[in-house]
Structure 1
Amino acid sequence: MVLKGKRSLRNIFIRYFIYFSLLTAGLFLFYIILYGVMLNKGILLPANYLEQKIESNRNTILEADIVTKDMIPEGCGYGVYTETGKMLTGNFTSKEADTYWAAMQANQNVAWGTKYYKVFNRNNETCIVSYKLIGQFSNPLLKKYFGNAELWIGILFLFIFIGEILLLSAKFGRYFSKEIKTLMNVSEKIRAQDLDFETVHSDIREIEEVIGSLDQMKIALKGSLEKQWDMERSRKNQISALAHDINTPLTIIKGNAELINEVCQDESQLKYNTYIVNSSREIEHYLKVLMDMTKSEELLVLKPAKIETKMFLQKLLEQEKALASEKNLELMNEIETVSEFFYADKELLYRAIINVIANAVEHSEKNSKLLLKVSESETVLQFLIADSGRGFSKEALKSATEQFYREDKSRNSKNHYGIGLSITKSFIELHHGTVELSNSIELGGAQVVLKLPLLENKYIS
């Protein structure tokens, strides 16, 4: 698919390469012009300046009775030798004196690295003057600290060249990052299943093609998800309707079976009728579990708000008292000093705690104890519920929060499904909290600790 008006990556790279080439050529031109202007203005001395000065003093050096320092241009070295190579006068070091004499004897052009020399044959003696072929600044101060002017101008050129590279790299990086970010935003929204966003576009052809493909995928995914959500809603409605339909004949069966128990005198018949009553109650329990599952899926949308702690705990304790009254449990409620307010989803949190309390009541013996302890640290609000039952087994400590977990599959009782703890775990994790299972040292039964992070505001990321 060809997208008109869009630039390909190839063209973009070529464009930036042309920019780079033009800027580099301009930099070289600037270097040449700068060098020429400095020469014309006398700011910079040419590389052969010392050589010319030495030649202009040739006759003076040859005809003078004695060669003195003032005859030698500033910046040059010299030495006056006998015919046997012994230096009589000059500012050469002994090592330099030997080196220049040996270079002259061997007819070499360069005697000391980058230093050149000229020879003046006088009566019975030879004068050697050394110099460098480098550009120098005419200003004495600049000449002192920046002897090799060409080197420093070259360093300046190098810094400007590096700056050019960094400038173009930053410009290209910002441009390309902006286009890539557009692509990333699209993919991130699709990943989060936010499929109602308006499609954005890119100036780069290849990225625009990818965005186009993602847009097609978004449309297809949206249709698929909507179909899935419709099927899921239909399934939940069917389950709810079926549970309601089953509950009607079940109520009739249970009511008649209980009535027979009240009036029947035949022990054999009473025995089988009791099975019917118990089985009816089990079916009621299964229906309740089924309804809880569908409701829990619908409620898994967090709506945090500011909660008044005192009112929330009062409602919690009242419901705990109602649940515990069936088995005449002794309630051990310990409420430590907690904040006046906290942020959470009130309904989900309340239901999570009540599920744990209901499980604790169910697994407690009559006339035993039930503990509810509420405490707070700097970052966590904690609810601890413990019963006096038989506690968690090793297997249950690992799996009790799994949906439909039953601790002992061999038991006749079918009321050990972990739907309550499973729902509780889902609700608490929505708050970024944790559920910890253990056995209570104090009461000997199961212990569940719900830890809820304290938020500074109602928003949970």
Structure 2
Amino acid sequence: MDKINNMSLKKVFFVLTLSSLIIASILTTFSYILLNNLYNYIQDKYLKTPINTGFITIVQNNVNQFSDYDKTLLNIINILQLVLPLIFFIGLLLLADIIFYKVKLKTPIEILNKGAMEISNNNLDFCLEYNNNDELGNLCNAFEKMRSELNKNNIKMWTMINDRKQLNAAFSHDLRNPLTVLKGYSNYLTKYIPTGKLSDEKILSTTQLMSEHINRIEYYVENMSNAQRLEDLVVSKSMSNINKFIKNLDENISIIAKQEGKSFTLKSQINNVNLLFDENIILRVVENIISNAFRYARNNVSILIYIEQELLTFVIEDDGIGFSKESLKSALRPFYRDKTLNESNAHFGMGLYISKILCEKHGGSISIENNLTNSAKITAKFSTKN
């Protein structure tokens, strides 16, 4: 049977057809001989042989002398001699077709139909298995290869959509902080310029800071437009004065703290030095973490900055309720929401996920834990190596 299964369709069809013709010929021959002998046997009953002659003379009785039964039997024999060959040939050819269909066509057609139905129902998570090495076996293998490629492309497409979804979420999430700062500066200028209490120098410095944040937004837009996923974002390190960076950070945090109605303390253990880092990336990460810290803090957020083994390190702690056990395991995953918090407060999953990706892109890492008072503590590290 395995030999037949692995034969080509043409060979199997030829073998079955030839076999049916040979069998039909044999049956026709045997039936003809059998019917002819029966015909002769009936006729022999009506033959006469003269006696006392030197030779044999056979005289056949007139056909009208046949009995009615024998006449009927002879007519049946004549009909069968004409009909039986047709029955044998047609019947055996039909039988060969049925065998051919069941052996070579039925199973692969059912498999292909089932596969086509699955695909039409947008299901590509199945497998076509047909092991015969014939034309339909090759067709099933080609169909399975097509299904596999479609499934890979489908997974790739959904991955790209998910990556883009995360990127868009990151974009909207990270725009919030510079917009908050811009809004704070705008309110500040709107409130104090009409009173004449601001010097031209103060107004100029404030507008310069606003310009820097506008540049940050432009940087975000450009990066997000060029990237297809968060991992594609490019880190551009440059030598910058760390104290100037910390001063700008302190001013930004002040505005965020005012918006949240909380206080903060910022302590730096770094001397006035130039370091190699990407200011935009670090601002995004630190502001994300601090914004979340303000959201969960009762009153105060503390920030400690230091250098350790060429890693620029930020330790941010709040005085809130800290991370739950579930959050400690899952808070760095995208779109995570803490079930123990209400919907309006469960935001930190995306911010921490973005921060994790950017820290790693900058050659560093991020870790979360609860401090000795069971409040949240987040440590973000950034490599200052070239």
With the shorter chain as reference, the TM-score category is 0.3 to 0.5
**What is the TM-score when the length of structure 1 is the normalising length?**
0.34
Structure with the larger RCO, 1 or 2 (CA within 8 Å, 6+ apart):
2
